[in-house]
Amino acid sequence: MPTISTTNWLLGVLAGLVLLLIIWVTFLSAALRNQGRGKKKVLEAVKADKDILVVINNLLAEVDQINEKQNRVTTTTNEHQEILSTAIRHVGVIRYDAFSEVGGSLSFSTALLDDNGDGLVLSAITGRSESRVYAKPVSEKESTHNLSKEEQMAITQALRGVKS
């Protein structure tokens, strides 16, 4: 089994360090180029207007416009978040056999809830000769109607990961 001599090992380590230095220098060069572009833009503006105060005032006006746009975006985002908190976004489905003579998990309970735990639970009970569908309102994760364990499980599944 061949062994790596100390010299070859040191050459390998040095080659790796040189490669890292090349990558680092490339990164620093790119960073300096980007800084130079910003300074070049300001210098070109100064040359065109020949007055540094005009350039500064123009830049401050641009910053004010950007701040106004950012405030509008933040306000709109907050409005959308408020609207979305009342939208049905959380769904839980539990399938089960309601009757022992009917297999295949044809019965189900589905919870459709918003962030506050408001919405409804739909349950379909499937038997050999008939099916029945029930809808029960849910307010703050609770219902005024008695809920089956499958309906409770559907609510729990729908709200998994929702902050209280």
Contacts of 42 (CB under 8 A, 6+ apart): 55, 59
Taking residues 96-101, report their average pLDDT.
82
State whether residue 110 is helix, strand or coil.
strand
Q: What is the pLDDT of residues 51-72, one digit of tens each?
A: 777 778 888 899 999 999 999 9
> Quick one: pLDDT at residue 14?
84
C-alpha separations of 160 from 85, 91, 108, 116 in Å: 15, 10, 18, 12
> Quick one: pLDDT at residue 98?
83
Q: What is the pLDDT of residues 146-159, one digit of tens each?
A: 999 999 999 999 98
Length of the chain: 164
Residue whose pair of structure tokens reads 């089960």 in the numeric block: 96
Residue 162 burial (C-beta neighbours within 10 Å; 0-12, 13-18, 19+) = middle
Q: pTM for this one?
A: 0.56
